[in-house]
């Protein structure tokens, strides 16, 4: 199952646009800064489809943005029923 988070996609797009970068340029800058490898295609899918990328891509993007991973992709709430 593919996880989606449109809010995170909008945030990444906003940061990228504010920096004046294309998805290709952002991919290159993340890699050149030594944060890891995130393809331009993945960046486009994050922004347009709300794709939640693999963990290594989450960390690379978060490091580049100077944020924690969970500030971009919050942990999902769990449904826990209390037993009486």
Query: The tokens of 17 are what?
Result: 């646009």
Q: Please name the helix (run of DSSP H) or strand (run of DSSP E) that holds residue 59, with its range, or none.
A: helix 55-65
Query: Cβ(27)–Cβ(39) under 8 Å?
Result: yes
Q: Could you tell me the residue range of the domain that residue 28 belongs to? A: 6-72
pTM of the model: 0.85
Domain assignment of residue 67, yes or no: yes
Does 77 fall in a domain? Answer: no
> For the chain, what is the domain count?
1
Question: What was the pLDDT predicted at 76?
Answer: 74
CA 77/CA 73 separation, integer angstroms: 12
pLDDT at 7: 95
Kindly state the tokens that stand for 13: 């797009």
Residue 83 located in a structural domain: no
Query: Which CATH number does the domain housing residue 65 bear?
Result: 1.10.260.40
Residue 81 lies in a domain: no
Tens digit of each residue's pLDDT (9 = 90 or more) over 22-78 = 999 999 999 999 999 999 999 999 999 999 999 999 999 999 999 999 999 998 766
Instruction: Determine the 3-state secondary structure of 35 from DSSP.
Output: coil
In angstroms, the CA 78 to CA 59 distance is 22
> What pLDDT, on the 0 to 100 scale, is given for residue 3?
85
In-domain check, residue 42: yes
């Amino acid at each position: 199952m593919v996880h989606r988070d449109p809010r995170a996609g909008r945030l990444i797009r906003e940061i990228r646009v504010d920096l004046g970068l294309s998805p290709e340029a952002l991919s290159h800058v993340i890699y050149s800064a030594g944060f890891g490898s995130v393809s331009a295609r993945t960046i486009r899918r994050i922004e347009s489809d709300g794709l939640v990328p693999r963990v290594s891509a989450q960390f690379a993007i978060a490091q580049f943005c100077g944020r924690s991973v969970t500030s971009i992709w919050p942990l999902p709430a769990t449904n826990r029923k209390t037993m009486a």
